[in-house]
Structures are given as structure tokens and as C-alpha cells.
Structure 1
């Protein structure tokens, strides 16, 4: 089972470069949070944002995919659904951005202190996930998958260009 972030009250997540995290104030993504997938440029870094609905999110490192939980009893079929969707038609190109290095995925409105505390406190439900990406240009594509009638996930995959 994946580790899910589901504590957002603001319906937006940001993929924050670790080097920018100590100065993150929680307002940086305010202008781009209405879109399901968007990006902003801050201090020479592209920052991917996932927003529009307060859906739980997880990171699947092997297929380079973010999954958002629309509805499901559990996530047992998630990984097989993501792999099956890999060659499916219907992926929508959303944007292209430069990524690479160590990141933290967290609610975009959380301040640095809260995110850093979450990363260090394994006793509490996670509010942040670590993400590591090889440097390069990535195309972000979105797809909604329905592995069965009672299950739906929204996927955003990163395709190296």
C-alpha cells in the first residue's frame, strides 16, 4: 500500500525543491492552484502543483507517477492500474518543465516549519513525501483510470523528454 497525503484543507499540493524548503512560506503557489496541474517558477526552479480538489495524493517512484484518490475502497489495485494505463490512449499532455534532484511533496499552503516537522515525525500521519528525480526536462500527462466501477484514480505522470 502506498503512503498517502490526505490532510490538505486547501486542495493543492506543491513539489518543492528541498533547497527552497527552508524559506517556503505557503503562499508561493497561490496564483496557480485553480488548475488540476500547473507549474510556477521560483528562484530558478520549476515547481509542479496539483490542485483544484482536495484529493489524497501519493507518489509512485517507479512509474514516475502521482496518483490522486478520487474514490475507492482501498488502493490495492492502484499499482496494477497505473502499469496497465502506461500504454493506454487518452493521456492528456498538460505541461513541460525542468526537474531534477530532491523534492518534498506537501500541501502548498503549509509553511516550511510544518513540512519539516512532518518529515521528522513518523508517529503522526504524513503531511509530506520525499521525491527524487533525475535531472531533465519532463512532460506531465494526466489520465483518469477506473480499474473497476467502484474505483477511480487521477494520474499525473512525468515522462522524461
Structure 2
């Protein structure tokens, strides 16, 4: 199944370009705390943030979609629900941004040393997920899906423009 980041102390995840990771201090995303999906610029890069609540999150590379565990006992129905949702007309446009290259999805409050240690420790609980994206402009869209009557996931997909 998917690798999940199971909590965030800051209630905000950040998609950090790997080249900016050594200088990441864990305070950069403080201006976007109130939004479920937001972005800000740092050193010439767009930084995508996901938050609003401390929900577990994962990255699904093939549909270029972040999934957040909204209400569910497990993630067994997630992939079929995401595949079915791809053609839905109910996706909500949130923002557009420029992305491309290697990224790390992690708790926005974590400092660089903690993130790097998590990436090296394959046996410990995941605190960071690697994400690779082709360089381009992306539209971020959101949707809540029900994988079954007892399971809901918040999705944010990246659509190439």
C-alpha cells in the first residue's frame, strides 16, 4: 500500500524542493497556516502546502495526487476511488504554480536535519516522502472522495497545463 505520513505537528505539510532542503528551518510556511491548500515563493521556487488539519497524507505518483486520510479505518479503497475520481467534473480549482524536479513532502515545521535523517532511516516511521515531477506549470485541484460508505479522502491533484 501507500507510504503515509501519519501526522503533522504543525497541521501543515510542505512540498520542498530538495535543493532548498539543507537550509529549511521549519518556519517558512507560517504565512499559509489557515488554508487547506496554499503556496508561497522561497528562493525562486513555488512551495506547495497542504494543511488545515493534522491529517495523514500520501503521494500517488501515477495520478500525481496527494491523498489525505479524512475519515477511514484503512486505505484499501483509496486507489479505486482515486481512479474513479479522475474523470469527475466536481474537482475544484485551487491554485496554479511552477514545479519540477525532486521534492520532499514532509511536516512543514520539521528542520532540515530531521527531514534528512528520516529519508535515511528506512526502518523508522516515515516522516518524509520523495516526490519527482516533470518541470512545468501545474493546476492544483481538490476533491473529497468516498472510497466506501465509511471512508473519505481529501485529494489534491496536479494537472499539467
TM bucket normalised to smaller: over 0.9
What does residue 105 of structure 2 align with? 105
Describe the superposition over 1:31-89 as per-residue Cα deviations: whole angstroms up to 9, x where unpaired: 01210000000000000000100000000000000000011121111111001000112
Gaps of 5+ in 2: none
Separation of aligned partners in 2, 1:34 and 1:51: 8
SS in 1 for 2:31: coil
What does residue 120 of structure 2 align with? 120
What does residue 136 of structure 2 align with? 136
Correspondences of 1:1-161 after superposition (within 5 Å): 1-161=1-161
Separation of aligned partners in 1, 2:123 and 2:102: 23
Separation of aligned partners in 1, 2:129 and 2:93: 25
Separation of aligned partners in 2, 1:22 and 1:100: 18
Residue range with higher mean Cα deviation, 128-137 or 69-78:
69-78
The Cα RMSD (Å) is 0.6
Q: Which runs of 4+ in 1 moved over 6 A?
A: none
So what's the TM-score if we normalise by structure 2?
0.99
So what's the TM-score if we normalise by structure 1?
0.99
Residue range with higher mean Cα deviation, 92-101 or 71-80:
71-80
